[in-house]
Amino acid sequence: MNGGSAVIVGGGIGGLAAAIGLRRIGWEVTVVERAAVLDDAGAGISLHANGVHALDALGVGEAVRAAARPQYTGGTRVPGGGWLARMDGDALERALGTPIVGIPRAVLHRLLRAALPPGCLVTGAEVTSVDRSEHTRVRVHTGDDVLEADLVVAADGLNSRLRTQLFPHHPGPAYSGSTVLRALTEHPVEPATDFELTWGPGAEFGHIAFVDGRAEWHAVLNSPPGVRYADALAEVRRRFGDWHDPIPALLDATRPDAVLHHDIHELVTPLPAFAAGRIVLLGDAAHAMTPNLGQGACQALEDAVTLAAALATEPTVAAALARYDAERRPRSQSVARAARQAGRMGQQMTHPLGIAVRNLAFRLAPSGATVRTILRHAAWTPPALS
Ligand SMILES: Cc1cc2nc3c(=O)[nH]c(=O)nc-3n(C[C@H](O)[C@H](O)[C@H](O)COP(=O)(O)OP(=O)(O)OC[C@H]3O[C@@H](n4cnc5c(N)ncnc54)[C@H](O)[C@@H]3O)c2cc1C
What number does the ligand 1 atom closest to the CA of 298 have?
Answer: 11
Q: Which of 336, 385, 304, 306 is nearest to 112 (CA)?
A: 304
Nearest-CA residue for ligand 1 atom 26 is 283
Query: Of 239, 255, 230, nearest to 205 (Cα)?
Result: 239
d(CA 113, CA 253): 29
The confidence score (pLDDT) of residue 108 equals: 96
Beta-bridged to residue 203, according to DSSP, are 200, 221
Which of 30, 45, 165, 217 to mutate for ligand 1's pocket (most ligand atoms within 8 Å of CB)?
45
Q: How far is CA 145 from CA 31, 140, 141, 152, in A?
A: 14, 8, 6, 15
**pLDDT (0 to 100) of residue 81:** 97
**How far, in Å, is the centroid of ligand 1 from the Cα of 158?**
7
87/64: higher pLDDT: 64
Query: Is pLDDT larger for residue 172 or for residue 136?
Result: 172
pLDDT digits 0-9 by tens, 324-379:
999 999 999 999 999 999 999 999 999 999 999 999 999 998 878 878 888 889 99
Q: How far is CA 40 from CA 19, 32, 315, in A?
A: 19, 17, 38
pLDDT digits (tens, 9 = 90+) for 137-146: 889 999 879 9
Q: What is the pTM of this model?
A: 0.97
> DSSP of 174-192, one letter per residue?
EEEEEEEEEEE-SS----S
Does ligand 1 have an atom closer than 6 angstroms to the CB of 35?
yes
pLDDT exceeds cutoff 70 at 243: yes
Beta carbon of 54 within 6 Å of any ligand 1 atom: no
Classified as helix, coil or strand, 237 is helix
Gap between the Cα atoms of 18 and 44, Å rounded: 21
Ligand 1 lined by 156 (C-beta under 6 Å): yes
Beta-strand pair 83-86/138-142: unpaired
Mean pLDDT computed over every residue of the chain? 95
The distance from CA 227 to its chain's CA centroid, rounded to whole angstroms, is 24
Residue 383 is classified by DSSP as P
Determine the distance separating the centroid of ligand 1 and the alpha carbon of 156, expressed in angstroms.
8
Which of ligand 1's atoms lies nearest the C-alpha of 288?
19
Q: Would the pLDDT of 168 be above 90?
A: yes
